[in-house]
């Protein structure tokens, strides 16, 4: 684990939107609903679809953290939205609603991986919501729960669990291995202890950082405090053996799912899952209702795709046809698996272009820049929603789009 630079001083608290604390966008209020693990029941999906149709602009936006946004909310719609979300079990804590950022491996518990990370996601979310002090976490704080396949472990979580085998779990801090090990049963307790450790270290360093990596030597200090305090119930050796993530990735289990998995995946129980990409992450209320009819539970991925699990092969064939007709993408060769965009005009006042319309036009006409490489279109330098990894930037400027190489 390498030392992080000196503490980053933030002049203000983070203003990440939530379901109740909305953001005033150019097209109305924007609400972000946290979906720990990306896991949504059919009833929850139906409730979100109805809210989008009746309160918002008729669609759900999928985010790079597997969450859902509603746009175009009228002034005063927050109370109605809050009631609907609470009724659907999507708002278990009004005080903690913005800090439930939990990613879990795509397909976990169904195909690949050493463990099922879904119980971790539910337990970690419940643990966060149960502790009043954890309401002070920044809205940008992120937990990643990787079942061993190495997908979400690479997404830079502040705190993360990474299964190394069926009985051994690594704690990651700021996206790197901490050297601490535990068992699957004790893993959530360790992640919660690390989360508390972030707040303690943040307070010791001035109390303004949003992310663990912004603290001076934050990951090492939190790991040292954990291994010396014994205040968690995990079986954790001293952090003597720190392995870089690439070493851990050599132990990955299951299909390589780094990036955008798409298509049909056989499950361990003989059934199959479909993974469909949602172009530009905009899921219409009608598409959401369709997904809710196809599965009792779906999983949203950080790559703006949706897992439709537990299908027979015949049902999967039929579902794939219907999803394709609605505009969802199940072809791994589709350019839509490589194109993302920020909100752009008209939703964002800062945008210099309607980037979504322009990106869609480029896909339709086969004129994507950079030979169709993985790319993110953005209306200004902030590049909201840019995926991690090698991505070409297609940036709106006053003189048209500027295309810069992947970095
Ligand atoms: S990148 Fe700029 S234009 Fe796009 S949503 Fe963010 S602030 Fe708005």
In order, the DSSP letters of 198-255 are HHHHHHHTTS--SSGGGSTTHHHHHHHHHHHH--S-S----TT----HHHHHTT--SS
Task: Look up the pTM and report it.
Answer: 0.91
Question: CB within 8 A of 194, min separation 6: which ones?
Answer: 159, 171, 173, 178, 222, 226
pLDDT per position as a tens digit, 49-95: 999 999 999 999 999 999 999 999 998 899 999 999 999 999 999 99
Question: Residue 407 has what pLDDT?
Answer: 65
- 230 pLDDT tier (thresholds 50, 70, 90): low
Mean pLDDT of 153-167: 96
CA distances for 7 relative to 133, 198, 211, angstroms: 22, 13, 10
Q: What is the percent of the chain where pLDDT is above 70?
A: 90
Question: Residue 259 has what pLDDT?
Answer: 59
Mean pLDDT of 114-128: 98
Q: What ligand 1 atom has the least distance to the C-alpha of 345?
A: 3
In testing the pocket of ligand 1, which one of 340, 341, 382 has its CB within 8 Å of the most ligand atoms?
382
* Residue 378 Cβ < 6 Å to ligand 1: yes
- 389 pLDDT tier (thresholds 50, 70, 90): confident
Question: Residue 14 has what pLDDT?
Answer: 77
In the chain, ranges of CATH 3.90.480.10 domains: 263-336
In the chain, ranges of CATH 3.30.413.10 domains: 102-249, 338-404
Question: Residue 250 has what pLDDT?
Answer: 41
Question: CB within 8 A of 212, min separation 6: which ones?
Answer: 4, 141, 158, 159, 173, 174, 198, 201, 218, 219, 222
* Residue 384 Cβ < 6 Å to ligand 1: yes
- CATH superfamily, domain at 338-404: Sulfite Reductase Hemoprotein, domain 1 (3.30.413.10)
Q: From atom 6 of ligand 1, which residue's Cα is the shortest distance away?
A: 384
CA distance 288 to 395: 30
- CATH superfamily, domain at 102-249: Sulfite Reductase Hemoprotein, domain 1 (3.30.413.10)
Question: Residue 15 has what pLDDT?
Answer: 78
E-only strand ranges, 52-206 = 59-62, 68-73, 102-104, 143-146, 159-165, 168-173, 176-182
Pick the CATH number of 263-336 from 3.90.105.10, 3.30.300.130, 3.90.480.10, 3.40.605.10: 3.90.480.10
Question: Residue 208 has what pLDDT?
Answer: 86
Q: How far is the CA of 342 from the centre of ligand 1 (A)?
A: 6
If residue 305 lies in a helix (H) or strand (E), which one and from where to where? strand 305-311
Q: What ligand 1 atom has the least distance to the C-alpha of 379?
A: 3
**For tokens 């609470």, what's the residue?**
86
């Amino acid at each position: 684990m390498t030392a992080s630079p000196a503490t980053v001083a933030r002049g203000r608290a983070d203003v990440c939107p939530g379901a109740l604390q909305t953001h005033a966008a150019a097209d109305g209020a924007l609400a972000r609903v946290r979906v720990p693990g990306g896991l949504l029941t059919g009833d929850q999906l139906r409730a979100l679809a109805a809210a989008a149709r009746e309160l918002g602009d008729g669609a759900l936006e999928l985010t790079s953290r597997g969450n859902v946004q509603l746009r175009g909310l009228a002034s005063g719609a927050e109370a109605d939205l809050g009631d609907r979300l609470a009724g659907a079990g999507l708002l278990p804590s009004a005080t903690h609603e913005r800090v439930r950022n939990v990613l879990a491996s795509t397909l976990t518990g169904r195909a690949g991986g050493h463990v099922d990370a879904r119980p971790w996601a539910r337990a970690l979310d419940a643990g966060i919501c149960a502790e009043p002090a954890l309401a002070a976490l920044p809205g940008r704080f992120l937990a990643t729960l990787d079942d061993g396949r190495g997908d979400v472990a690479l997404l830079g979580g502040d705190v993360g669990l990474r299964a190394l085998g069926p009985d051994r779990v690594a704690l990651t801090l700021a996206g790197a291995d901490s050297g601490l090990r535990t068992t699957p049963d004790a893993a959530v307790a360790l992640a919660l202890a690390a989360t508390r450790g972030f707040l303690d270290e943040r307070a010791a360093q001035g109390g303004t950082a949003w992310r663990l990596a912004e603290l001076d030597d934050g990951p090492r200090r939190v790991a040292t405090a954990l291994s010396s305090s014994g205040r968690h119930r995990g079986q954790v050796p001293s952090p003597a053996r720190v392995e870089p993530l690439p070493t851990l990735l050599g132990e990955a289990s299951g299909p390589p799912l780094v990036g955008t998995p798409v298509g049909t995946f056989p499950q361990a129980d003989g059934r199959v899952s479909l993974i469909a990409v949602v172009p530009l992450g905009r899921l219409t209320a009608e598409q959401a209702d369709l997904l809710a009819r196809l599965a009792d539970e779906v999983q949203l991925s950080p790559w703006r795709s949706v897992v439709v699990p537990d299908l027979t092969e015949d049902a999967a064939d039929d579902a794939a046809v219907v999803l394709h007709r609605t505009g969802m993408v199940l072809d791994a060769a589709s350019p839509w698996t490589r194109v993302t965009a920020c909100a752009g005009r008209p939703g964002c006042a800062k945008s210099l272009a309607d980037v979504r319309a322009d990106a869609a036009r480029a896909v339709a006409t086969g004129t994507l820049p950079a030979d169709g490489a993985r790319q993110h279109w953005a209306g200004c330098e902030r590049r909201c929603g840019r995926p991690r990894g090698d991505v070409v930037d297609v940036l709106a400027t006053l003189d048209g789009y500027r295309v810069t190489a992947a970095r």
